[in-house]
Structure 1
Amino acid sequence: MKLIVVAVPGAGKSTILGIVKSKLPDVTVVNYGDYMFDVAKRRYGITHRDEMRRKLPLSEYRRVQEIAAEEIAKLPGDVLIDTHAAIRMSGGFYPGLPSRIVERLMPDAIIVLEFNPMDIIQRRMKDEALRIREKETPQEIEMHQLANRHYAFAAANEAECPVYILDFHNKVQEKPFQHAEEAAAFIVDLLIKNRQSSLNPPQP
């Protein structure tokens, strides 16, 4: 089963996927951007992820996207694909899952993680020492989450797969990482149910 998991930067997606991996060690977690960088490094000598957009012509950048998607699609077993549905660019948004990429990945489902923007801002503040991110207001974060949702539906239409919205906007955490644990539990349950249905296919 291949699942695409999307959220705005700093929402805690990596933490969630790490919890899934701890519960199901045989699951493969891949970062789409890391795969793109690996392809760009091999084929064009790119030495830093940020150089991909600056140094590669658009046609070559798109080819890197496609090769990365083709390599991920070949991975066996259950695969969780960490990527972005909407990429913020100079006042607007760029599709992170265009049709030519989705038709190569062919996910079984797309999971969209949404949170209260203030929770995301707090998580980003904790990561400031590790990551440099553009400052966003709560309204801008909410708009980004809305863009994620729209782009995810468009991608799912291409792949003919379901979209699951895990909305934690109004859910107060009663303990640290509660949101992450609940999101991870949903993903684990989805994977286990798929494995069980594969072992016991419906009789004709």
Structure 2
Amino acid sequence: MKIVLVAVPGSGKSTTLKFVKEMLPDISIVNYGDYMLEIAKRQYGITNRDDMRKKLPVEEYRKVQEFAAEEIARLPGDVIIDTHASIKVQGGFYPGLPDRIITKLRPDAIVLMEFNPKDIIERRAKDVGLRDREQETPEDIELHQLANRYYAFAAANAGECAVYILDFRNKPQSRPFEHAEIAAKFIVDLIMRNRGAKQ
């Protein structure tokens, strides 16, 4: 099974995937941006992920996306692809999973995580110095989450797969990382149901 996991930057996808890996050690987890960065390093001399969207012209960015999709699509077994449904570029949004990409990836499901924008701002504050992110207001983040939802539905239509929305906006955490644990359990259950269906 191939699952695409999407959320706005700083939402806690990495933490969620860490919990998934603990529950299902045989799962393959790939970061789409890491694949893209390796290709961008080789072909354009880009040195970090944030520079890909800031420095690469759109046509070159598209080529890097396609090469990454082809490499990831060849991976065997159960795979979770950590990526973005939309990417903020020059004041707008660019599809992270356009038709030409999603049809190459051929996922079985897209899982979209959404959060209270204030929670995301708090999580991003812990990443200061680790990533070169623009400062965003809660309204900016909510607009990006809305864009993600539209783009996820469009990608699912082109890829002929299901979309699952995990909306944590109005669900405060009772303990640290609770949202990540809930999301990880949902993903693991999805994979296990699929494995059970194939037996």
| TM-score band w.r.t. shorter chain | over 0.9
* Distance apart, 1:68 and its partner CA: 0.7
The change in CA–CA distance for 1:154 and 1:57 in structure 2 (over 3 A counts) is same
- The superposition leaves residues 146-172 of structure 1 with CA deviations (integer Å, 9 ceiling, x where unpaired) of 100000000000011000000001111
More moved, 129-138 vs 187-196: 129-138
Larger Cα-atom Rg = 1
Aligned to 2:114, the other structure's residue is in SS state: strand
* Distance apart, 1:41 and its partner CA: 2.6
C-alpha RMSD over aligned residues: 1.6
* Distance apart, 1:4 and its partner CA: 0.5
TM-score norm. by structure 2 comes to 0.94
TM-score norm. by structure 1 comes to 0.92
Unaligned runs of 5+ in 1: 200-204
Unaligned runs of 5+ in 2: none
* Whole-angstrom CA distance in 1 between matches of 2:146 and 2:54: 27
More moved, 168-177 vs 147-156: 168-177
* Distance apart, 1:126 and its partner CA: 1.4
Aligned to 1:132, the other structure's residue is in SS state: coil
1:63 alignment counterpart: 63
Identity of aligned residues (%): 67
> Residue type matched to 2:195 in 1?
R
Aligned to 2:130, the other structure's residue is in SS state: coil
Match status 1:26 vs 2:56: no
- The superposition leaves residues 53-75 of structure 1 with CA deviations (integer Å, 9 ceiling, x where unpaired) of 56655433322211110110000
- The superposition leaves residues 75-125 of structure 1 with CA deviations (integer Å, 9 ceiling, x where unpaired) of 001111111111112332111111100110011000000011111111111
What is the correspondence of 1:24-173 to structure 2 with a 5 Å cutoff? Answer: 24-53=24-53, 56-173=56-173
- The superposition leaves residues 16-50 of structure 1 with CA deviations (integer Å, 9 ceiling, x where unpaired) of 01110111111111111110111223344444434
CA contact (8 A) 2:85 2:151 kept: yes
1:189 alignment counterpart: 189
More moved, 50-59 vs 183-192: 50-59
The count of corresponding residues between Structure 1 and Structure 2 is 199
* Distance apart, 1:197 and its partner CA: 0.7
